[in-house]
Structure 1
Amino acid sequence: MAKKKVGAYPGGMILFSLTSALFLIGFCGMLVLQSKKLVRYIRENNEVRVFLDKDLDKKQLEKLHGQIVKKPFVLYNGTAPQVNFVSKETAAKEFMADTQENFTNFLNENPLRDSYRIKLQEDYFEEAKLQQVKADLEDVDGVFEVIYQENIVDEINKNITKIYIIMSVFAVIMLVIIIVLMNNTIRLALYSQRLLIRSMQLVGATNSFIQLPFLRRGMMQGLISGLVAAALLFILLQVALRNIDGLATLQEPEKIGILLGAVVVLGIIIGLISTFQAVHRYLRLSLDELY
């Protein structure tokens, strides 16, 4: 009959359970990263339209553009301000394309105005701040009117907050459930070693000496599970990128790398803590409780 080795216990069930748990946690983390990037994308693509006075010459337009790009709320893509000039002719073509109506059939002139379309920094995606932006721009000489989508900004922010709260609560609940399940799984796996643990206690082995091989194995199982879960998440992300249009624009490789690294570290921590708690429990049991 083969002798039992300290720290050697069936690990397949633990690896499978921990890998599944880490995969779910990592998947939730990816959803949070993608949703935050999507929210930022929505906010930064919210445009304010600045309609200009009629008959402004080129010099006046250049001066007006220079004043607008210096505003603190203007979004920059690198060094390029996100301020785009739209002529009234271009605006007329867009209007006719959207409405399928040609207003030139009953109007003798183009009633639309030249305008600037400005993308704002994410921090200004609030109704109160947008009102300040509107007032600030309307004080600039040459500006006729400033328009943005009113009343929907706060509603979007409220919905975004609700989504974040729900996802955070779900993630915390799931993490607690996973830790409890892992504790039970490792405790069951260590059940076969309970008598060996007691035998070592009887011959004078210290608790730290008994725990050490189990903790090493728990850390190794956590490391392996974390690496497998991270690899599965990476594969899933690559499949999603190939099959979902526009998803690539939401990617932040550095944050994805940090998340995958965190999954591995979390696996080691959960493996270590769960193993410690399970072994510590058996160390405290009486002889009658062991049976």
Structure 2
Amino acid sequence: MPKKKKIGSYPNAMIVMSLTAALFLIGFCGLLVIQSKKLVSIIRQNIEVRVFIDKEVTKAGQDSILTVLKTKPYVSAAIETPTPITFVSKEEAAKEFIEGTKEDFTAFLGENPLRDSYRVKIGEDYFEESKLQQIKKDIETIKGVYEVVYQEDLADNINRNVTKIYAVLASFALIMLIIIVLLVNNTIKLAIYSQRFLIRSMQLVGATNGFIQRPYILRGAMQGTIGGVLAGGLLIGLQQVAVRNVEGLAMLQEYDKIVILVAVVLALGIMIGIASTYQSLARYLRMALDDLY
């Protein structure tokens, strides 16, 4: 004999599962945004401007150029770049070139035509093509500097592609949020629908709307909390598995922002649970008796 449902039974598991899935997808989009921003930040911190020095400049002249470079506001001051200015001798530059190309150009040239140089890492705030052009012109005015070189158009290409990625992720997250809120709202509406006669009975014995709503809204908040905690746990679990199995992913982790993301997911779950429950209840509290059937 099939087991009968008790009066007032409520599909808690179904609602919690819907909320968990919804919040996990939203949180996953947020996790992608956090890690993509960190990746872009690392790329920007490693962009270098190469300052080539005149061959006639002495050691004292090189030190003078270094002193001037250290005073420039555009030189990176980030903690991740403790040595924003690096000196590269022409011998080191030749060695790097030979290792990269596997060709010893000094064998047929008979000399090393390269120059001593400084490699300067630029702050993230100056990562724009127009600002890099200004930096190039500014450094070239320093006495003893032969030429300033950087990868032109790289900044604009990176900024343009990053903007596209953020736009796609933001659009996807917004669409998912709308779809998910509608689905969760419908799930809660179906759950409240099963309670419509119980709600009407409470009204008939004189219960106020606030008295009727209170336990349902508290239940909605609890369901949102459980869904948020489960979604947050899944996000952290997925992140830890990815860090352990994907080489180099650990450097993209910003745990303080991930904690904030989990807190936002939890708060969003509570808000969705409360708002959807309140909206669904309001409908049945105003409904005429004949409409309940």
TM-score by length of 1: 0.95
CA offset at residue 98 of structure 1? 1.2
Number of the residue aligned with 1:290: 292
Q: Deviations over 1:148-185 (max 9, x none)?
A: 11123212211211111111111111111111111100
What one-letter code is carried by the residue in structure 1 that aligns with 2:47? Answer: N
Number of the residue aligned with 2:262: 260
Match status 1:50 vs 2:66? no
What one-letter code is carried by the residue in structure 2 that aligns with 1:218? Answer: G
> What is the aligned-residue RMSD (CA, Å)?
1.5
Number of the residue aligned with 1:4: 7
How many residues align? The count is 289
What one-letter code is carried by the residue in structure 2 that aligns with 1:50? Answer: V
8 Å CA contact 2:50–2:149 kept in 1: the answer is yes
What one-letter code is carried by the residue in structure 2 that aligns with 1:4? Answer: I
Rate the CA distance shift 1:3–1:103 in 2: closer, same or farther, 3 A: closer
Number of the residue aligned with 1:28: 29
8 Å CA contact 1:40–1:122 kept in 2: the answer is yes
- SS of the equivalent of 1:9 reads coil
Q: Distance in 2 between matches of 1:165 and 1:217?
A: 36
8 Å CA contact 1:75–1:119 kept in 2: the answer is yes
8 Å CA contact 1:83–1:119 kept in 2: the answer is yes
Number of the residue aligned with 1:226: 228
Match status 1:238 vs 2:240? yes
Q: Distance in 1 between matches of 2:254 and 2:5?
A: 52
What one-letter code is carried by the residue in structure 1 that aligns with 2:109? Answer: L
- SS of the equivalent of 1:80 reads coil
8 Å CA contact 1:84–1:117 kept in 2: the answer is yes
Rate the CA distance shift 1:3–1:95 in 2: closer, same or farther, 3 A: closer
8 Å CA contact 1:49–1:117 kept in 2: the answer is yes
Number of the residue aligned with 2:131: 129
Please, which of 155, 175, 178 is the counterpart of residue 176 of structure 1? Answer: 178
Please, which of 78, 92, 95 is the counterpart of residue 94 of structure 2? Answer: 92
Rate the CA distance shift 1:51–1:2 in 2: closer, same or farther, 3 A: closer
Number of the residue aligned with 1:72: 73
Listed as ranges, the gaps of 5+ residues in structure 2 are none
Number of the residue aligned with 1:190: 192
Q: Distance in 2 between matches of 1:86 and 1:145?
A: 15
8 Å CA contact 1:69–1:81 kept in 2: the answer is no
Q: Deviations over 1:122-146 (max 9, x none)?
A: 1211111010000010011111100
Percent of paired sites with the same residue: 59
Q: Distance in 1 between matches of 2:106 and 2:272?
A: 70
Number of the residue aligned with 2:148: 146
Q: Distance in 1 between matches of 2:258 and 2:197?
A: 44
TM-score by length of 2: 0.95
